[in-house]
Chains A and B, each alone.
Chain A
Amino acid sequence: GAGVSQSPRYKVAKRGQDVALRCDPISGHVSLFWYQQALGQGPEFLTYFQNEAQLDKSGLPSDRFFAERPEGSVSTLKIQRTQQEDSAVYLCASSLDLTYGYTFGSGTRLTVV
């Protein structure tokens, strides 16, 4: 597609519920990143994929967070047993060549009630 597509755009989850957030990167983009943006803050790195390999997951805040990209294209960020502190906008970005930066999606706004 023309840009990075994320779905759903908005998600409301009850505390304790599992959620799955989807990212469709730009076709052919090798690198894929997930970021978490809390209200009024800058995005914070969660995890990085190069093709299907998850090369860095140091930013995942707990073992309730899990990300995958099984075929090196679409990626899913899964959050188990959601907590109120998980409420944030989750951003996905992809890149063909990191030298030139990368393209962000519009994000998924997760609200845990």
Chain B
Amino acid sequence: GDSVTQMEGPVTLSEEAFLTINCTYTATGYPSLFWYVQYPGEGLQLLLKATKADDKGSNKGFEATYRKETTSFHLEKGSVQVSDSAVYFCALSDPGSQGNLIFGKGTKLSVKP
């Protein structure tokens, strides 16, 4: 079945460092791909998405490119801030499904000043 694999955390960075969180997926069709973020004490929020190969999703300085050839959707940010500290989830939605998401296990990011 479909699945999502994320790099394990926690990830600890200094402010203004470059961030990469790796995400790869397995799917039978051509899924839509998502990054969700969960700030402490809050619900999951959609960070960005891409619906087809070579699409780039971007939001709040974060970017991820849908790479069909490597089945990847790595999350990047050029300069992280303390306020980016959160848990990040990669997810996919199979076009044959009802829209339900399959999530990775999440990667906790801590940014130190």
- A→B interface (CB under 8 Å): 3-4, 31, 33, 35, 40-45, 48, 50, 55-56, 59, 91, 93, 95, 98, 101-102, 104-107
Contacts and interface: CB of A to CB of B under 8 A. Distances in A.
A91 B105 contact: no
A43 B101 contact: yes
Contact of A42 (B41, B91, B99): B91
A93 B34 CA distance: 15
20 contacts: A4-B43, A31-B99, A35-B101, A40-B106, A42-B104, A43-B89, A43-B101, A44-B103, A45-B100, A50-B98, A59-B100, A91-B43, A93-B44, A98-B99, A101-B34, A101-B46, A102-B46, A105-B43, A106-B42, A107-B43
Interface residues of B, number: 22
Contacts of A104: 36, 43-45
A55 B49 CA distance: 25
Contacts of A41: 105-106
Interface string B83-107: 0000001010100001111111110
B17 to A, nearest CB: 24
A40 to B, nearest CB: 7
Nearest to B106: A42
Nearest 8 pairs between A and B by C-beta?
Answer: A42-B103, A98-B99, A104-B44, A106-B43, A45-B100, A104-B43, A101-B46, A48-B98
